Structure 1
Amino acid sequence: MRCPFCHRDEDRVLDTRTAEGGYMVRRKRVCTSCNRRFATVEKIEQLSVRVVKRDDTREPLDREKIRRGIERACSKRPVTSERIEQVVQSIESEVYNDYDTEIPAKELGEIVMRHLAALDEVAYIRFASVYQEFHSADDFIREVTRLTKLPAAQRS
């Protein structure tokens, strides 16, 4: 690793720590030429899975878009940011484990809804109402009825 100060390739690692659930490594280093300290970050480079939208266009899987949707659904609910991050990480891991290059948007939405149903039932209904484009109160009633008929283990 080149020193950002003297640009020499002579350093040693002082400390190594994992971050983001083991998907990232931070290293504290010291340059043996100029004795200045700096940090580096190593992150797994994953090939991007593309989301195939309903109109057949494709876009890269966007972790932040998933997070924003979940945060919006969980607004004013007793769900911590840490828990949301865990859910986003679980969704992302599931997608990367089960799909090589592409995932249909419908399947991605189903994965998010399954995770939301386990996280918070109200957040699930909020997300489902937008994702499934509810048009009437009957749509809400149908989904709440379906949700309440699930075994408790699947809901929480």
Structure 2
Amino acid sequence: MNSKHYTTVGGKRRKHLYLDVPQAFIPELAWFKVMLYVATQSSEDLFCMASVCSLFNTLANTPQVWNTISMEKYQDHPNWYYASTQVRHFMEQCRACENREAIFREAFDVFFRQGNVEALSGMLVAATAGHMEAAYLVGLLGMSEIGQSKEEPGML
């Protein structure tokens, strides 16, 4: 809905047209790219942006945005969030959309806390998706594996 406002400047009345929708002159794809960038920087800013209009709300709830959203604010202590259903929903949505931080956290938990070596595949997926900590751990674990496999049996 558009609204008209009038101002008087120099004795002349001038009409100003204000558009109530931010996407009026900018293509949806451009807003989507902005939304993706905001998602990588701050989940709080993304949620504020999503509350601006229905287009932003729709864009914010796409799997691509949830795949890239920053989980930095919510540290990896699931027990802390049992009281907050909103935070739990946020974490579950990130896992469902294969967010690289969510993949890393799950693989880290399964590998280091539960001792399951099969979790390394999840760590590799997160590293391939660009998660820096996962890449570092995959590199360290890979170097230790390479170092062990090159040694001959019986040598220390």
Please give the TM-score of this superposition, normalised by the length of structure 2. 0.26
Structure 1 or 2, whichever has the larger Rg, is: 2
Give the number of the structure whose residues are more often strand, by fraction: 1
Give the number of the structure whose residues are more often helix, by fraction: 2
Q: Which has the higher contact order (CA 8 A, sep 6+)?
A: 1
